[in-house]
Amino acid sequence: MKFGWTALAVLGALLIPAQAAMNAKLRIFVYNPLYTAVVNHLVGFLVSLTVVGLTIRLNQPAHARGVFEAPWWALCGGVIGACFIVIATLSVPRIGSASFSVAVIGGQLVGALLLDQFGWLGLAQRSLTPARLTGVLLIFVSIWLMQRE
């Protein structure tokens, strides 16, 4: 296991429930979940632009023209991010942060298994094994348990 990268992924994932809760709160003030997604992405864009400006000053190379050389589907991450924000903004107040988070993990794992199994989007192909399938099934048991009240 690549512990450092795995730990970084876990740390990043710790922020997802907070982001969902922040967006759900923002929706109370702006009313519209689509507008919430726009504000979220605008703030993220401004922060990213600031970081890019700082890294350029540190002589970190960038290939801006590469955007036009990338396949069309590689540019669709923002669309998925916007959809995710709207879904989180609507779901978290109704099912709670923990139920939302475990459902997101379940969905991510199913998507990841499909990407791995078929090598879609340029990823290396990795076969579906009984252990991997069992892991996903246990997440769906967790979803069911989290919803029982």
Q: How high is the pLDDT of residue 8?
A: 87
Question: Mean pLDDT across the stretch 68-87?
Answer: 89
Question: Mean pLDDT across the stretch 128-147?
Answer: 91
pLDDT reading at 91 higher than 70? yes
CA–chain centroid gap for 68, Å, is 24
pLDDT reading at 120 higher than 80? yes
pLDDT reading at 52 higher than 70? yes
Burial class (CB within 10 angstroms; exposed 0-12, middle 13-18, buried 19+) of 85: buried
Per-residue pLDDT reduced to its tens digit, 4-51? 888 888 888 888 888 888 989 999 999 999 999 999 999 999 999 998
What rounded mean pLDDT belongs to the chain? 88
Q: Are 51 and 62 in contact (CB under 8 A)?
A: no
Tokens encoding 89: 């903004």
Question: Mean pLDDT across the stretch 111-135?
Answer: 92
At residue 60 the predicted structure's pLDDT band, cuts being 50, 70 and 90, is low
Q: Does residue 145 or residue 149 have the better pLDDT?
A: 145
DSSP string, 56-116: HHTT----TTHHHHS-GGGGTHHHHHHHHHHHHHHHHHHH-HHHHHHHHHHHHHHHHHHHH
